Structure 1
Amino acid sequence: MSNHPLDTHRRKFIQMIKGGEFEPFIQHIRFPYFKNLEMDARIDFNFPITALVGQNGTNKSSVIKALLGCPHGKSITRYWFTTETDDVPDLVRDDGSILKPRYIYGYKNTDQRIIEILQTRVNATKQSLDYWETSRPLVSDNMDSVSEVSGANSNATRWKKIRKGVIYLDFRSEISAFDRCMYHSDHKVKVLKSGRKTTKQDYIRSKSKYIK
């Protein structure tokens, strides 16, 4: 067994998960139809730290914002809005059925049963043109119906949202690392053996291989 500090922390995290120290927490999230994500995409959170990695435009931020809207008192309505240039309409399938943008997440209730919450975009209301709400479980999304009320985690027709504190840090309000380096920093010029002086572009190229 490795005694490396990272392995030690990893084992401790796993023990904390098994001991229920993080409960309640979102066990998984799935996307029957959401933004440009692959239909029925799913992410399982079986470790306390999850990193989403991908190129620009792969909807990493959309996943984060969906998670932000999961807990009680939170809604994705603040971040989801359609425009003429960014319209995400309901999807009409070949059989005539309609898929509304939605996502589903699961967490353990007080009975240690994983229950699923459906978040759906509904038709425009006085509250918002892009209004989201907790909806009844859909059999078509392979969700179990709420047949019994269990403690404070359910009501007559649907499970209640998870109650969990959220810290959301969005660094898009700051200057990106690239722009800071390229346009807002002094570059320490080095003279190569060939006599050529290095540029900021050289520096960024030298570091980009590590990012890739």
Structure 2
Amino acid sequence: MCFVEQGVDLVVPIKRLDRAKTRLRGAIGGPHAEVVLALLLDTVAAAASARGVRRVLVVCEDTRVAKEIAAELAGTGVEPVDEGGLPGLNAALQHGADLVRADDPGGVVGALQADLPALRPEDLTAAITEAGGRRAFCADRQTTGTTLLLSAPGAPLDPRFGTGSAHAHLASGAVAVRAGLATLRCDVDTAADLAEATALGLGQRTAYALAKRSTAGP
């Protein structure tokens, strides 16, 4: 079976915008939440346009996220769902995975980080293709974290995000996708990460938000 043609359902978790990406706070001028939202929107827009992605479910607890998805990404396959006060990232991911599993018990579910503003759809498609229906993950550029986790068809997602998640996912039996895929590996937690993403080419919303912040007066 070609899993790119079958389609993968992705779950993307995001905290309240004011509490997300705290290590970026102060590294950029202007309202922090605006840039965090731009990171998310560029990520999910790229993911939704990748061949092999059928649906993108954004698990959030911030009404601003749902509002912007409805305004900017209607009809793209991106949809928000209320996190409902779940305790942490892995619980939010499991909640989203359960929701998509209810619609397609035998499908492939993936967890994608919300901070990949340089993501190119072809890199995500390449990772899905290489996984080939196996439970698989893509490590971040530091090789310690995880930017993408894919289940096997109909099997548990079993997310183990947190410190050292790449090792945790490998130890749990997931296979690592190949080297390369630079835009899928470039999550943004720090100013240095943002510089790397900028060099790869930011999505239009993040580029606009940063440009607006840099030209804003005191």
User: Is TM more than 0.5 here?
Assistant: no
More RCO (CA 8 Å, sep 6+): 2
With the length of structure 1 as denominator, give the TM-score of the two structures.
0.29
More helix by percentage: 2
With the length of structure 2 as denominator, give the TM-score of the two structures.
0.28
- Which structure is larger by alpha-carbon Rg, 1 or 2? 1
